[in-house]
């Protein structure tokens, strides 16, 4: 199979990174959590305005569904004291399910849950109380829920921002959108596995004295948005839920976009949602995971030594597939613009492959350099592989 040449761009530029032209032959990679804001932007699905979809249940493994997986308390006062909320879980399977346990990420959070088996079609609850005594800071706590019949725990989150003094809507929501406002135009959904969706939420404030209807235009494929209530009452804050559904042809780091339309008029600004899509190995048995592809890189990072600013920098990363299945790289992302990555085709069991990285260093500052290439793969043991190209610019 012919090599694939990928021109990959990053939105964020690493401070203090430098690269220059030279080449090195080495190999290296490490698994890492998918992170960072950089991505290849998805093209909008349509330029027409679309109504915001109604609130949806969030199914987990076709066994249960939650009314929500995140509860955002929004902006609260320390003087409000403890904060409480509940999550409702419905059994959508044909057998009773049991909530084995719920583990909190912090001693500041108490939790109770339905202990008896939940019959098909019936619902149970998970209730939590946050002490709200950690100071005037943002808080984000997790509840890890273990449920019968589901191979991995479900993560529920409670979050908000605690304040000592009252603040106006204009102060709390600095990004203005034609009479409405949000805290940030850059949102994050985190990691998503193929076949699944992931949701998060933020607030959208109505800064006017009349109700305002919010729709969205130029919505990227795979992204949906939900405002509740809508119209947003005057001088109130609504819930803006955003959901990214993994698309079979979209892998790795991506940004999804939507343009808010306020009372029928385009805001002229875009909201971006970051997500990282990986393969889904949750239904594999231990034997299937063991038999899957497994790339072994002999060294990491790849150092190109000292180079001159403005030259091309090149590195080659060699690996062997010691697994029993073909090794496939779905996508390569990089954190530096003007980077070209050359990928091998599918690498069969027992065979070797190599990945070359070429970087244009004309716009890089002098000093230490670090360029990271993130591979999204079909390997159950290494679904994400980071390659590091390092050196020094003189």
Among 43-57, 86-100, 336-350, 353-367, the minimum mean pLDDT is found in 43-57
Q: Is 145 exposed, middle or buried (0-12, 13-18, 19+ CB in 10 A)?
A: buried
CA dist 23 and 354 (Å) reads 14
Position 25 scores a pLDDT of 44
β-pair partners for 254: 40, 275
- List, in order of start, the domains of the chain with CATH numbers: 4-34+292-393 (2.60.40.10), 61-166 (2.60.40.10)
Of 224, 344, 237, 317, nearest to 26 by C-alpha is 317
Under DSSP, the state recorded for 178 is T
Strands 265-266 vs 352-360: parallel, antiparallel or unpaired? unpaired
Among 17-26, 52-61, 218-227, 255-264, the minimum mean pLDDT is found in 17-26
Position 58 scores a pLDDT of 65
Q: Is the dihedral of CA 43, 276, 299, 297 positive or negative?
A: negative
Whether 145 has a pLDDT exceeding 60, the answer reads: yes
pLDDT tens track for 8-64: 333 333 323 333 333 344 433 333 334 333 333 333 333 333 333 333 456 677 899
Q: What percent of the chain has pLDDT over 90?
A: 76
Whether 84 has a pLDDT exceeding 90, the answer reads: yes
- Please spell the DSSP secondary structure of 368-385, one letter per residue: EEEEEEEEEES-SS-SEE
Angstrom CA distances, 298 to 2, 347, 350, 393, stand at: 24, 16, 15, 25
CA dist 361 and 366 (Å) reads 10
Helix (H) or strand (E) holding 287: helix 286-291
pLDDT tens track for 313-327: 999 999 999 999 999
Q: Provide the whole-model pTM.
A: 0.78
Of 266, 357, 347, 352, nearest to 19 by C-alpha is 357
β-pair partners for 123: 90
Q: Which residue has the tokens 């001159």?
A: 308
Residues 6+ apart with CB under 8 A from 335: 10, 12, 14, 36, 38, 371, 372, 374
Q: Averaged over 233-240, what is the pLDDT? A: 95
CA dist 56 and 225 (Å) reads 10
pLDDT tens track for 156-215: 999 999 999 999 999 999 999 999 999 999 999 989 999 888 889 999 999 999 999 999
Residues 6+ apart with CB under 8 A from 106: 141
Whether the CB-CB separation of 244 and 201 falls below 8 Å is answered with: no
pLDDT tens track for 285-297: 999 999 999 999 9
Q: pLDDT tier at 71 (50, 70, 90 boundaries)?
A: very high
Whether 377 has a pLDDT exceeding 90, the answer reads: yes
CA dist 196 and 189 (Å) reads 12
Under DSSP, the state recorded for 79 is G
Position 4 scores a pLDDT of 34
Measured from the Cβ of residue 266, the count of other Cβ atoms closer than 10 Å reads 16
Helix (H) or strand (E) holding 316: strand 312-321
Angstrom CA distances, 319 to 124, 191, 294, 295, 300, stand at: 49, 26, 10, 6, 11
Position 57 scores a pLDDT of 59
Q: What percent of the chain has pLDDT over 70?
A: 85
CA dist 28 and 303 (Å) reads 10
Average pLDDT, the chain: 86
Angstrom CA distances, 94 to 123, 124, 126, 194, 283, stand at: 13, 16, 21, 25, 19
H and E: helices and strands count for the chain: 2, 31
Of 314, 317, 291, 310, nearest to 366 by C-alpha is 310
Whether 102 has a pLDDT exceeding 90, the answer reads: yes
Angstrom CA distances, 37 to 78, 189, 198, 274, 376, stand at: 31, 11, 17, 7, 16
């Amino acid at each position: 199979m012919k090599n694939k040449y990928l021109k990959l761009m990053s939105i964020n530029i690493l401070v203090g990174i430098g690269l220059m032209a030279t080449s090195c032959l080495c190999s290296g990679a490490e698994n890492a959590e998918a992170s960072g804001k950089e991505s290849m932007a998805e093209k909008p699905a349509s330029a027409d305005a679309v109504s915001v979809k109604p609130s949806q249940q969030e199914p987990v493994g076709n066994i249960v569904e939650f009314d929500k997986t995140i509860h955002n308390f929004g902006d609260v006062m320390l003087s409000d004291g403890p904060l409480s909320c509940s999550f409702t879980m419905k059994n959508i399977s044909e057998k009773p399910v049991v909530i084995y346990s719920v583990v909190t990420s912090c001693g500041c959070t108490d939790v109770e849950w339905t202990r008896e088996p939940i019959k098909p079609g019936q619902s149970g609850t998970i209730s939590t109380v946050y002490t709200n005594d950690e100071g005037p800071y943002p808080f984000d706590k997790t509840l890890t829920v273990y449920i019968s019949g589901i191979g991995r725990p479900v993560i529920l989150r409670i979050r908000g921002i605690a304040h000592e003094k009252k603040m106006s809507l204009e102060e709390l929501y600095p990004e203005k959108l034609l009479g409405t406002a949000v805290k940030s135009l850059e949102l994050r959904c985190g990691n998503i596995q193929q076949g699944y969706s992931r949701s998060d939420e933020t607030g959208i404030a109505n800064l006017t004295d009349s109700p305002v209807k919010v729709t969205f235009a130029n919505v990227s494929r795979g992204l949906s948005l939900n405002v509740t209530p809508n119209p947003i009452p005057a001088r109130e804050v609504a819930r803006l839920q955003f959901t990214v559904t993994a698309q079979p042809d979209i892998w790795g780091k991506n940004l999804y976009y939507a343009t808010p339309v306020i009372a029928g008029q385009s805001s002229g600004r875009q909201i971006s949602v970051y997500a990282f899509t990986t393969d889904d190995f949750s239904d594999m048995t231990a034997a299937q995971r063991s038999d899957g592809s497994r790339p072994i890189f002999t060294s990491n990072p790849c150092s190109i030594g000292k180079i001159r600013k403005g030259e091309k920098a090149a590195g080659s990363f060699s690996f062997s597939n010691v697994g029993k299945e073909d090794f496939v790289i779905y996508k390569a992302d990089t954190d530096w613009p003007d980077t070209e990555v050359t990928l091998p085709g599918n690498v069969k069991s027992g065979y070797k492959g190599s990945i070359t990285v070429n970087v244009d260093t004309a716009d890089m500052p002098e000093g230490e350099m670090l360029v990271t290439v993130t591979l999204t793969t079909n390997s159950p043991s290494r679904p994400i592989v980071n390659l590091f190209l390092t050196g020094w610019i003189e």
